[in-house]
Amino acid sequence: MDNNNLEQITFGGGCFWCVESCFNILKGVESAISGYSGGHKDNPTYEEVCTGETGHAEVVQITYDPKIISYEQLMDVFFFLHDPTQLNRQGNDIGTQYRSVIYYKDDAEKTKAEEAIKASQESGRWSGTYVTELTPFEKFWSAEQYHQGYYNVNPNQPYCSAVVGPKIQKFKKHFGELGMLNAE
């Protein structure tokens, strides 16, 4: 990858264990880091974010090479991995920390995010009204180290085997057929 031309995007689509695991195996993604954004407390902990009182969302910050994978492709993956019609939840994960949110850095990125939401809505992938927030990016706080690559280290943990694993398998099948995954 050309490290001089890398870009970043930060968004939340439910539990970051699911999202981070998938993005880390995409061609063109240098890193996907689990963390927190959108809240009012500096250096929040996982326990604090889980209360819903800090205002943060569980997010993934992706560093990628736009010559290999486009912003639009990343958005397609984002909308594949979570249901953007569920307000402040994903399945049984309930709370504002699980909200669907895209953090944009400038007006051009906001416009691209609006276009991605519109394209996803028009695709009919999800029925219902999209509730994905578009919020100016302010700060990203990396989650505790044990959250990074959590699924890879804990595939047999009950939540991982029941929720994360099946989501990753569905993701691998779909995006593998499109040739978008790194070789295992």
* From 15, 18, 22, 160, active-site residue: 15
Cα(109)–Cα(66) distance, rounded to whole angstroms? 13
7-178 folds as: Peptide Methionine Sulfoxide Reductase; Chain A (3.30.1060)
Burial grade of 132 (CB within 10 A; 0-12, 13-18, 19 or more): buried
Answer yes or no: 15 catalytic.
Answer: yes
- Strand, helix or coil for residue 62: strand
Cα(114)–Cα(102) distance, rounded to whole angstroms? 10
pLDDT surpassing 90 at residue 4 = no
pLDDT surpassing 90 at residue 50 = yes
Arithmetic mean of pLDDT, 16-36: 96
Q: Give 139-150 pLDDT, tens digit per residue.
A: 999 999 999 999
Prediction pTM value:
0.95
Q: Give 79-111 pLDDT, tens digit per residue.
A: 999 999 999 999 899 999 999 999 999 999 999
Which H or E element spans position 80? helix 71-81
In the chain, pLDDT over 70 holds for what percent of residues?
98
